[in-house]
Structure 1
């Protein structure tokens, strides 16, 4: 039930949907006072959430900062959280990745540098309906194609969300007492919730953020004034993540 509700919540936290809703209300309502109010509200939301500078500032405040590669210590295992691949029934003969592919590409770099010995990939099938190849298995295939030794990869394919990632990973770690030092790898925006979940599950791990949405500050007209449609989509992701953090807190997962 919680899994399904989280998917519905993702839809209703979309700023563009708010703009459409308030525009429709402005058209349907008869009183001029209410029509103007909803019209200005929709315009205000559109201006704020399409501003690249404000979007970047929000990301900078929320994301967990990067650690330079040369400062990363040696770790027995990197725990990689999935959520960055997609499965297509019509093109099943390859791996389809999203923007967050850095979640496994960056620890692959650390592996090549000798900073990581093994991988634990956590994540199953996140679909509400239908079935797909578990994401952990998809990422495993990519790492194998990249030349990672098969014995250096362990997958956990039952998790559907961050809470389950932590719960199932904790069980796996009990079978591998040799993994004394652990590195938790996920997107920078997702790290706050992930780290808290893993700490709550009794897993001690350092963190390594990847897949950044934030960037340097630029006080240029295209950042300060010119609206960007992509900012609306990025705000949706950030608002969803913050709401997820709050919900996890209320559920006692953090």
Structure 2
């Protein structure tokens, strides 16, 4: 039994490290830099030209704001009007939007994506959801940080939410574990029938599939949108944008994660 547990922990750590490595390898900036370096150091003039053209073309393509926005629009799960949300027993909040610094222990830092807990807090204040289930552990490989679920719990408590209306699950280190551990927690509360799954719009496809695989029936409620309405102004169609370029990294990483989860049978 102990050996099986040790084997599981080793596999878990390897999967976590592999995920972080993949995040680096799927960085479009890395691809462009590699192509440009090859254009400098390759001896063949023909190969130099091919690498230079490929690097420049990739840079122009991925920095185009219109193409980036179209990709986001195609991938993100669309928003549900607040007016359509009513009488949910719990909002299941996925973490990944907070940070912690040991030199600033007196506060919780938030990143883009804080809508993951702000929007359900709005629904709670409107009496559309009764309580929160926050799932997410420590996202760092090396540092022993405060679990992200506990960080969001602190924010909700500061926002006036009673402690009895917040349940946390702080062992998960990826989306699959979010679903599995939450499913175990929910077995203790069979009276909770209507559940709202809250995460970023780009992350909703994988999250929803994982929760369904774990046997948890939920209604998706997307937040934290990267896509925007189509606008045909020069700055949003033809002028290169560094934000569009960096956004591709997140989108490519998420699509790759979804495909890997599908292959492994996680969702």
TM range (shorter): over 0.9
Matching residue within 192, 196, 203 for 2:209: 196
Q: Which residue of 1 aligns with 2:43?
A: 30
Deviation of 1:69 after TM superposition, in Å, equals 0.5
Q: Which residue of 2 aligns with 1:14?
A: 27
Which ranges in structure 2 are unaligned for 5 or more consecutive residues?
1-13
Matching residue within 179, 186, 200 for 2:192: 179
Deviation of 1:3 after TM superposition, in Å, equals 1.1
Matching residue within 162, 166, 172 for 1:153: 166
Q: How many residues align?
A: 254
Q: CA RMSD in A?
A: 0.5
Whole-Å Cα distance in 1 between the matches of residues 45 and 231 of structure 2? 40
Deviation of 1:233 after TM superposition, in Å, equals 1.1
Whole-Å Cα distance in 2 between the matches of residues 82 and 164 of structure 1? 12
- Residues 1:86 and 2:99 are matched in the alignment: yes
Deviation of 1:73 after TM superposition, in Å, equals 2.1
Which ranges in structure 1 are unaligned for 5 or more consecutive residues?
none
User: So what's the TM-score if we normalise by structure 2?
Assistant: 0.94
- Residues 1:52 and 2:52 are matched in the alignment: no
Matching residue within 65, 80, 89 for 2:78: 65
Alignment of 1:232-247 (within 5 A): 232-247=245-260
Q: Which runs of 4+ in 1 moved over 2 A?
A: none
Whole-Å Cα distance in 2 between the matches of residues 133 and 65 of structure 1? 32
Deviation track 1:23-54 (CA, whole Å, cap 9, x = no partner) reads: 00000011111000000000011001101000
Whole-Å Cα distance in 2 between the matches of residues 229 and 133 of structure 1? 32
User: So what's the TM-score if we normalise by structure 1?
Assistant: 0.99
Q: Which residue of 2 aligns with 1:163?
A: 176
